[in-house]
Structures are given as structure tokens and as C-alpha cells.
């Protein structure tokens, strides 16, 4: 086993790097760069730190674009291409700009003579600072509003300022008499100011003929009675804007190293007060611009007496400092330098020698313990790998690798632990009888769903492997793709592609989502599901029966394309057999009544379950509900009795009735009804169902019998989808263990073709 040796070499390399790094970095730079190399870091007397910049190469994103207008002397900086002048940029995430004031003025006879409604619209990354700014109104017959957007919704607030005579006003107090103020919430990124008057200034015109409104940095404005008149000449006032990078969290940002903004090694990411986006800061002991590579540089604490507390001699180190005792003193090198004792006793030296020796021994012992534990763990992993059929799988994969494009990856336990943050409970996206599903982020940025199944017992291993291989090779756009598995754990882990938009069950039964699931979409999803089940049933080599078709096992991606998932209960049916004896598996409400009685599994059981899903889509009702009267608990029964009484349109979902045309709805209901026939033989095949549904989408007339001409291209499509893939067992007849009767199920020798 070469592994520990490699580890040791790594450790050595790290030690060497650690040992050598201080000398290469220790020189303190004369000044810290704040902008990218070759970028202007100044406009007039405003300094412009990156992520802000004056050209596309120099700023992080258009939100941080600063225009420096050289026609002014000194030059004036503006935000983007706007007329909002910037007066300050702080690296802690604030920005001070001059923002326009709203005015509203009246003439003696009560007509409005001038008025404006300034507005401001921030791109992502910038928001109005909620603690430093106040919405302020000045006037004696005035109300005003600030309208805006917050997150993705409208937001507004306002206040009223009145007075009857000039001596109502109170200097420095903004409490409604001639001046009022309102706080604004966090995360506002768009605002518009508006003003109005109650009595057209007719009562107060003699001393006040205008009102004013503005968002202002609270500390920069103190109300004075003169402001009733002198504000007319003021165009802009300062306000504080928060800036941050992006709109995601630190964790989200760290996932993409190339766009992660905290570029400096000695920087950290933190969440701003308003919880929007992220910001970077230098670690303690460093200062500079964390957004630049090498931006955070060591502080020489020893040069600044405020930063160190050494009594005697101070030595700067990277990121910190320590105090040492001068020559002839000894002590433990504490930060405050106290405890430096004159002279060195021999006894002390001796004691120090012995104690450091003991420490070294203890360290070695601890390392040995950890190493032994690690080896033991590797052994267990290998044991599980073998027990879970790893060798068999590897053999099959290498055999197949030459002939097939589809790759089953065997993931290591470590890889998947990393991807799921050690199977953290926050990463759980699904739980049920089958086990637990986690969301995971692989190191190559792929997002996956990882299924931790319930315990598989040893004689089912081979069957498990066969399923893994077969599923990993099915390459159909309507089936959730299996990317690989991990066999090093007690229970095998399966790794699937991650489907983002939840299950069909949620989309049907969640009220808001159901509202957006149009009839057209429902029919499309039904047709896609039918089509993929038909594909599985009539697949060229080994037909597959899903066994657990239900809306919760149909996932939807962002474009609402159906992806059938959860083949945990699925079974392969050798070509020479049309039925299997198994223990009854499935979900109540969807279970084929015939299968329940006979234990004989055929493809028609999937047809029945699909029929239930179809009824779910039509009615928006759950397959089983104890809220319904006893005879109607089972949706299939309810549906059949309603069909019998020709009251179909009473139980259809409201939207479905609105959007679908009656003839088409009736036909789909007939399809559902035929799927729900008690005798499996009476039910249509999945292929017939798929063709009927597709026909209905295309508006064609189809009947069950008339499958001839249009069946041809369907057949070729099915075969094309499956070509060049499955050939399990190659020559040696591999038996796959099924629930009860194993001798039933021998894979025929030439499944290939």
C-alpha cells in the first residue's frame, strides 16, 4: 500500500513550504495598491478602490463603474454614466453619492408652478443603506411618498409635514411640524420621490410656497426653519448606498473560484448587514484591498505602538507579532513581554529540554494512533466495496468500456462526503421508504442528487449491480440519468443528475404551482411519461418494469420536461417471460389491484399506475386521501364511478376545465379509464397509451387498433434510443436475484442481437 507514503511526502512538502514562506513575504510594502495594476485609482481627490474602476478592465462589474469627468476642476467622479456624483467610497461597503431633491411649488392663487419626481434605479450589487439614510419632507402643507422596489416587490412609505405659522417650527427637530422623517427598510434598490399638498398652499403661502422631499444621510441634515425657503436653491443632497458583490451568499460564491471576488489569500468572505450579496475583508493582522490578488498585506504591528503591547522587543511575523525578551533575559515569549526574567538558570534549561522531549514523544504517539485508525477505515471501505460487488461492477465496466460510450463512474466515499458536506442534514432533499436523497456539489461543479438506499443484503448485490449498469446506460431525455455509484459504504450510494424543479406531485398539489401548470403542459408531461414507460417496456434487450410509477417519482426540470426517477423497485423482465412473481411493491393509491391479488408482475401494472397519474393530472386530486368519504378515498375508484355517472366535468381541476377543450378532455379521461381496467389484459399497452396521448396533442384522430402507419417511426425511435448500449452478462448467463423466486429469472444468453 503506497498510500501512507504519499501522504507522508505531502506532509513533508507542506512543512517545507510553511518553513520557507515567511522569508519570502515578510517585507512590508511601502503602500498598498487599491486598484488593479495599470488602473487609475483616483478621480479628483476621490480614491477609487477595486471593485470600482473607471474602465471595463478595471472594474468588477458595470455596477462598479465610475466615470471621471475631466471637464471639472478638480475632475468629478460619477456613478456609471449617470449624473449622480460620488463623494466617497469606503472599502467596508458604503458609497456616498449626491442625490436629487424633489420640489413642489405653488403660486399665490393655488396653482402648481413647478414640480419634479426624481428617481433612482440601482443595478444589482447596490442598495440604499437603511440605517444611515432618512426619507425627509420639508413644507407646511405637504405629504410625500417614496415608492420603490425591495427584493422583487413594490414598496412605499411616506409622511406628512404641516404647520400654521412660521413659529410652529422647531430648530433641529423633525417631528411633523414643517419637517417629517421616515425610516426605510433594508434592500431597497429602486426609489422614486413624490410630493403633494392638502390645500394647494393657500393657507400658508405667505411664508411657505414650496415643499421638498429627499432621501438624505441623516447626519448630514439638520432641520432649520430657514430650510422652508433656502432649500429651493439646493439641487442635491448626500445619501449612503451599500455595495456588495453579486446577490448570492458566500457559500454560493465560493463554489465558482473564477468569479469569487475575495481574491486575496489572506482575505475572508462575510455577509453584509442587509444580507444581500457578499463582501470581503482582510484577515486580522493584514490590511489592504481583499478584492485584489495579494491585496491583503501583513501589518507591521511593531512599527505602530497602538498595535503592539510589547514592553521590550517586538518581532513582526506574517499576520501577527510576538514580543521577545532582550539578551540576558529569558521568559516564555508572551505577547506583552512581561515575564522576562534576568539570567538563565541551568535547572530551567534542563526542565525545558525534558518537557520538549516529552511533547515530541506525545506528538508521535498521537500521529501513530490517527494513522492506525485511518488504515483501519480504509480496510472497512475495501470490505464494503467487495461486499457490495465492487469487483463485479468494475469487471463489467472495464469490459464494457471498450464498446460503449456511457460511463458509470464509481465514486469514492470521500468524494461524496465532500459533495454533501459529510451528508449534512441541510443537504437532504428527499426522504422516504427508499432511503434518503441528498443534494451534492461535486468538485467539478456538477450538481448531483445522491441516494442513500436502505440496506441491501448480500444476495441482492448482483441484482443491484445489474440495475446500476442498465440504468447508467439508459440515455433517454425523460429518465433521470444515473451518473454512478459508491460501494465503499455499508449501503451503496447512487449518484444521479440533479433535477431542479421538484416533483410532478408538488406541481399538481401545491396550489400556487398548480395554478401555473396549464392543461397543455399537463398533457405534454403525461405523454412524455407514457412514452418513456413504453420505451422501458418494449426496450430491445431487457424490458424494465418500473413498479413504482407515481407523480412523486416524476421529476420536472426547469423547462417542465418530465424525468422519471426512482428505479429502486424496478425489475428487469427477460424477453422470454412476460410476467414475474414478486413480493408486492409499490405505493398505495397507485397499486394495480390485479398484481395485489396474484403477485404476478407484468408491464400492465405500470399501465395502471400511470392511469392514476393521468387522473391526478386531470383532477388535481391526490391518489389517496382520507379527507374524502370512504368509498372515494381511492382516486381511481372515485374517477371510475364519476365516469360511470357521466359526471366527469364535475371533478376536473378548474384550470383544466377552463383551458382544455371538452372533446380532448373526454378522450384523455377515456385513456385513463382504460388504463384502470381491473384485468391487466384489458388495459392498453404503454405504447398504445403514449401514441394516443401524442395523437391528442397533435390533434389527430387515433384509436387503439389503428396503430399501423404511425407506429413505424415510433418503433424506430425506440430502437434508436437504445442502440449500442445494453448487453448484460455477455455470454455467461448471469442470474439476477429477484425478491422471491430466483430460479425464475435467468437472463437469456443472447440478449444482445
Ligand X SMILES: *[C@@H]1O[C@H](CO)[C@@H](O)[C@H](O)[C@H]1NC(C)=O
Q: Which residues bind ligand X (CB under 6 A)?
A: 45, 61-63, 67, 69, 71, 74, 81-82, 94, 105, 107, 109-111, 113, 124-125, 129-132, 147, 154, 186, 199-200, 202, 209, 221, 224, 226-227, 229-231, 234, 237, 240, 242, 246-248, 256, 258-259, 272-274, 445
How far apart CA 603 and CA 571 sit, in angstroms, is 10
C-alpha cell at 582: 414478486
Answer whether 279's CB lies under 8 Å from 270's CB. Answer: yes
> Looking at beta carbons only, is 226 or 520 nearer to ligand X?
226
What is the crossing angle of helices 686-698 and 662-675, to 10°? 180
Q: What's the closest the beta carbon of residue 233 comes to ligand X, in angstroms? A: 8
How far apart CA 626 and CA 614 sit, in angstroms, is 20
> Looking at beta carbons only, is 86 or 534 nearer to ligand X?
86
> Looking at beta carbons only, is 61 or 460 nearer to ligand X?
61
How far apart CA 663 and CA 248 sit, in angstroms, is 48
Residue whose C-alpha cell is 503591547: 309
> Looking at beta carbons only, is 199 or 349 nearer to ligand X?
199
Q: What's the closest the beta carbon of residue 168 comes to ligand X, in angstroms? A: 17
> Looking at beta carbons only, is 131 or 380 nearer to ligand X?
131
Q: What's the closest the beta carbon of residue 544 comes to ligand X, in angstroms? A: 33
How far apart CA 461 and CA 454 sit, in angstroms, is 13
482-486 vs 409-410, strand pairing mode: parallel
> Which residues pair with residue 218 across a beta bridge?
none
Q: What's the closest the beta carbon of residue 62 comes to ligand X, in angstroms? A: 4
Q: What's the closest the beta carbon of residue 167 comes to ligand X, in angstroms? A: 16
Is 242 known to be catalytic? no
Q: Which residues contact 486 (CB under 8 A, 6 or more apart)?
A: 410, 411, 412, 413, 415, 416, 492, 493, 495
691 three-class SS = helix
> Looking at beta carbons only, is 204 or 231 nearer to ligand X?
231
Q: Which residues contact 418 (CB under 8 A, 6 or more apart)?
A: 443
> Looking at beta carbons only, is 227 or 605 nearer to ligand X?
227
Q: What's the closest the beta carbon of residue 59 comes to ligand X, in angstroms? A: 10
Answer whether 501's CB lies under 8 Å from 558's CB. Answer: yes
> Which residues pair with residue 330 across a beta bridge?
341
Q: What's the closest the beta carbon of residue 105 comes to ligand X, in angstroms? A: 5
Known binding positions: 452
How far apart CA 213 and CA 133 sit, in angstroms, is 13
Known binding positions for ATP: 452
Q: Indicate which residue of 298, 548, 566, 739 is catalytic.
A: 548
Any idea what DSSP says for residue 208?
-
How far apart CA 714 and CA 392 sit, in angstroms, is 36
Q: Is 108 exposed, middle or buried (0-12, 13-18, 19+ CB in 10 A)?
A: exposed
Q: Which residues contact 223 (CB under 8 A, 6 or more apart)?
A: 138, 171, 172, 173, 174, 178, 179
Question: Which sequence positions are flagged as catalytic?
Answer: 548
Amino acid at each position: 500500500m503506497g498510500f501512507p507514503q504519499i501522504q507522508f511526502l505531502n506532509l513533508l512538502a507542506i512543512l517545507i513550504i510553511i518553513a520557507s514562506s515567511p522569508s519570502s513575504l515578510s517585507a512590508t510594502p511601502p503602500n498598498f495598491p487599491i486598484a488593479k495594476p495599470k488602473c487609475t485609482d483616483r478621480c479628483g481627490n476621490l480614491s477609487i478602490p477595486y471593485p470600482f474602476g473607471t474602465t471595463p478592465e478595471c472594474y468588477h462589474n458595470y455596477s462598479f463603474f465610475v466615470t471621471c469627468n475631466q471637464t471639472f476642476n478638480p475632475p468629478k467622479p460619477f456613478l456609471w454614466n449617470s449624473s449622480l456624483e460620488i463623494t466617497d467610497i469606503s472599502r467596508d461597503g458604503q458609497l456616498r453619492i449626491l442625490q436629487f431633491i424633489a420640489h413642489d411649488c405653488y403660486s399665490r392663487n393655488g396653482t402648481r408652478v413647478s414640480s419634479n419626481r426624481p428617481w433612482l434605479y440601482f443595478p444589482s450589487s447596490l442598495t440604499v443603506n437603511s440605517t444611515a439614510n432618512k426619507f425627509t419632507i420639508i413644507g407646511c402643507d405637504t405629504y410625500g411618498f417614496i415608492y420603490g422596489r425591495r427584493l422583487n416587490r413594490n414598496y412605499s412609505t411616506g409622511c406628512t409635514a404641516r404647520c400654521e405659522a412660521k413659529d410652529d417650527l422647531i430648530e433641529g427637530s423633525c417631528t411633523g411640524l414643517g419637517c417629517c422623517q421616515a425610516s426605510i427598510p433594508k434592500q431597497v434598490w429602486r426609489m422614486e420621490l413624490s410630493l403633494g399638498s392638502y390645500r394647494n398652499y393657500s393657507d400658508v403661502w405667505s411664508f411657505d410656497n414650496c415643499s421638498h422631499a429627499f432621501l438624505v444621510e441623516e447626519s448630514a441634515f439638520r432641520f432649520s426653519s430657514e430650510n422652508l425657503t433656502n432649500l429651493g436653491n439646493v439641487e442635491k443632497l448626500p445619501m449612503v448606498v451599500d455595495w456588495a458583490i453579486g446577490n448570492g451568499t458566500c457559500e454560493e460564491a465560493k463554489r465558482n473560484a473564477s468569479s469569487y471576488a475575495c481574491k486575496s489569500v489572506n482575505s475572508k468572505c462575510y455577509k453584509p448587514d442587509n444580507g444581500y450579496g457578499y463582501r470581503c475583508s482582510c484577515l486580522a493582522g493584514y490590511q489592504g484591498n481583499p478584492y485584489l490578488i495579494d491585496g491583503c498585506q501583513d501589518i507591521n504591528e511593531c512599527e505602530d505602538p497602538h498595535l503592539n503591547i510589547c514592553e521590550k522587543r517586538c518581532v513582526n511575523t506574517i499576520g501577527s507579532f510576538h514580543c521577545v525578551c532582550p539578551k540576558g533575559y529569558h521568559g516564555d515569549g508572551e505577547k506583552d513581554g512581561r515575564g522576562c526574567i534576568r539570567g538563565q538558570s541551568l535547572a530551567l534549561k534542563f526542565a525545558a529540554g525534558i518537557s520538549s522531549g516529552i511533547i515530541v514523544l506525545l506528538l508521535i504517539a498521537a500521529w501513530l494512533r490517527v494513522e492506525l485508525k485511518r488504515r483501519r477505515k480504509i480496510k472497512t471501505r475495501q470490505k464494503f466495496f467487495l461486499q457490495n460487488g465492487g469487483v463485479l461492477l468494475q469487471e463489467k465496466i472495464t469490459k464494457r468500456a471498450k464498446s460503449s460510450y456511457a460511463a458509470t463512474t464509481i465514486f469514492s466515499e470521500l468524494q461524496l462526503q465532500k459533495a454533501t458536506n459529510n451528508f449534512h442534514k441541510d443537504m437532504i432533499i428527499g426522504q422516504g421508504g427508499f432511503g434518503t436523497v441528498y443534494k451534492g456539489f461535486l468538485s467539478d461543479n456538477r450538481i448531483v442528487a445522491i441516494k442513500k438506499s436502505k440496506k441491501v443484503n448480500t444476495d441482492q448485490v448482483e441484482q443491484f449491480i445489474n440495475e446500476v449498469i442498465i440504468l447508467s446506460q439508459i440515455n433517454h431525455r425523460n429518465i433521470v440519468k444515473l451518473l454512478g455509484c459508491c460501494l465503499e459504504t455499508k449501503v451503496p450510494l447512487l449518484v444521479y443528475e440533479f433535477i431542479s424543479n421538484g416533483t410532478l406531485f408538488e406541481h399538481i398539489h401545491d396550489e400556487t404551482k398548480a395554478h401555473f401548470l396549464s392543461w397543455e403542459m399537463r398533457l405534454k408531461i403525461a405523454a412524455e411519461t407514457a412514452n418513456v414507460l413504453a420505451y422501458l417496456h418494449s426496450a430491445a434487450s431487457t424490458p424494465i418494469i418500473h413498479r413504482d410509477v407515481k407523480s412523486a417519482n416524476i421529476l420536472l426540470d426547469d423547462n417542465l420536461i418530465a424525468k422519471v426517477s426512482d428505479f429502486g423497485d424496478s425489475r428487469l423482465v427477460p424477453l422470454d417471460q412476460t410476467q414475474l412473481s414478486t413480493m408486492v411493491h409499490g405505493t398505495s393509491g397507485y397499486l394495480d389491484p390485479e398484481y395485489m391479488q396474484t403477485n404476478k408482475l407484468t408491464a400492465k401494472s405500470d399501465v395502471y399506475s400511470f392511469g392514476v397519474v393521468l387522473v391526478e393530472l386531470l383532477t388535481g386530486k391526490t391518489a389517496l386521501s382520507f379527507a374524502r368519504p370512504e368509498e372515494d378515498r381511492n382516486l381511481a375508484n372515485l374517477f371510475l364511478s364519476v365516469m360511470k355517472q357521466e359526471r366527469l366535468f364535475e371533478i376536473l381541476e378548474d384550470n383544466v376545465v377552463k383551458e382544455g377543450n371538452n372533446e380532448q378532455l373526454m378522450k384523455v379521461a377515456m385513456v385513463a379509464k382504460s388504463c384502470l381496467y381491473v384485468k391487466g389484459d384489458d388495459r392498453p399497452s404503454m405504447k398504445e397509451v403514449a401514441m394516443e396521448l401524442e395523437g391528442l396533442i397533435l390533434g389527430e384522430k387515433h384509436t387503439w387498433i389503428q396503430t399501423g402507419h404511425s407506429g413505424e417511426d415510433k418503433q424506430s425511435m425506440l430502437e434508436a434510443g437504445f442502440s449500442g448500449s445494453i448487453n448484460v452478462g455477455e455470454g455467461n448467463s448471469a442470474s439476477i436475484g429477484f425478491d422471491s423466486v430466483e430460479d425464475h429469472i435467468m437472463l437469456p444468453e443472447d440478449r444482445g442481437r
